[in-house]
Chains A and B, each alone.
Chain A
Amino acid sequence: QSALTQPRSVSGSPGQSVTISCTGTSSDVGGYNYVSWYQQHPGKAPKLMIYDVSKRPSGVPDRFSGSKSGNTASLTISGLQAEDEADYYCCSYAGSYTKYVVFGGGTKLTVL
């Protein structure tokens, strides 16, 4: 069982917006502004999409945005495109020696 809780799947039509939630605790998501999001296509390595809750690395489209409220972080993808179909994982610093970083279980995004 993953430390952070994400919905197993979400879906949307091209051009629409979807939001993926990521719920943790005050010891991880709620305690630090160090939430990141990763996109993973089948058979590929994860790719950083959002870091520090809402910052986008160079090269990531501004259709991707992040936010946080309390113990829940969210990734919103607007103007859905076919290539956005992938698995998405949230991640948070968790502050302890053996629970340094925790991931969510992943959300499968389907573009209808």
Chain B
Amino acid sequence: EVQLVESGGGLVQPGGSLRLSCAASGFTFSSYSMNWVRQAPGKGLEWVSYISSSSSTIYYADSVKGRFTISRDNAKNSLYLQMNSLRAEDTAVYYCARGHITIFGVVTHFDYWGQGTLVTVSS
């Protein structure tokens, strides 16, 4: 059974940092691209970042570029999101999601999601 379990969320002051983790199990983690998707309270879904299976390709949404860093450790079956210079508008539930991609690296859909971890940015 595929499982994705996020951790690391919490309350942080504006300008602070936080590192999220996503522990994967039930599939060959090193064979899949991974993503972070967030959802502000009462709002819709927003794609945040993508990392390919080998970490060779990484993308970020404009809203987080330069502040967030996605990474993975295939030996530990883990995905990470380092979040720096946090702002109030980064307050959201952060989901890790497994991406299905074509041979050309196009993500077609997210087939498994974790339960999410809440990040609250407030003084």
Chain A residues within CB distance 8 Å of chain B: 2, 32, 34, 36, 38, 44-48, 51-52, 57, 89, 91, 93, 95, 97-106
B109, A98: Cβ atoms under 8 Å?
no
Contact of A91 among B65, B106, B109 (CB under 8 A): B109
8 closest residue pairs by CB, A with B:
A51-B109, A36-B109, A45-B113, A101-B47, A106-B44, A103-B45, A34-B108, A98-B62
A110 to B62, CA, bound (A): 34
Contacts of B116 in A (CB 8 A): 45
A97, B59: Cβ atoms under 8 Å?
yes
A48, B44: Cβ atoms under 8 Å?
no
A38, B65: Cβ atoms under 8 Å?
no
A104, B108: Cβ atoms under 8 Å?
no
Which positions 36-57 of chain B face chain A at CB distance < 8 Å?
Answer: 37, 44-47, 50
A32, B106: Cβ atoms under 8 Å?
yes
> Shortest CB–CB separation between residue A36 and chain B, in angstroms?
4
Tell me if B12 counts as interface (CB < 8 A to partner A): no
Chain B residues within CB distance 8 Å of chain A: 35, 37, 44-47, 50, 59-62, 65, 95, 97, 100, 106-116
> Shortest CB–CB separation between residue A85 and chain B, in angstroms?
17
Chain A residue at smallest Cβ distance from B61: A98
Contacts of A57 in B (CB 8 A): 111
Could you count the A-B residue pairs with CB atoms below 8 Å apart for me: how many are there? 70
Interface of A is mostly: loop
B45, A38: Cβ atoms under 8 Å?
yes
Chain A residue at smallest Cβ distance from B116: A45
B113, A51: Cβ atoms under 8 Å?
no
Contacts of B46 in A (CB 8 A): 103
B111, A93: Cβ atoms under 8 Å?
no
A105 to B114, CA, bound (A): 20
> Shortest CB–CB separation between residue B55 and chain A, in angstroms?
16
A45, B100: Cβ atoms under 8 Å?
no
A89 to B110, CA, bound (A): 12
Scoring B50, B95, B109 by chain A CB atoms within 10 A of each residue's CB, the highest score goes to B109
B111, A48: Cβ atoms under 8 Å?
yes
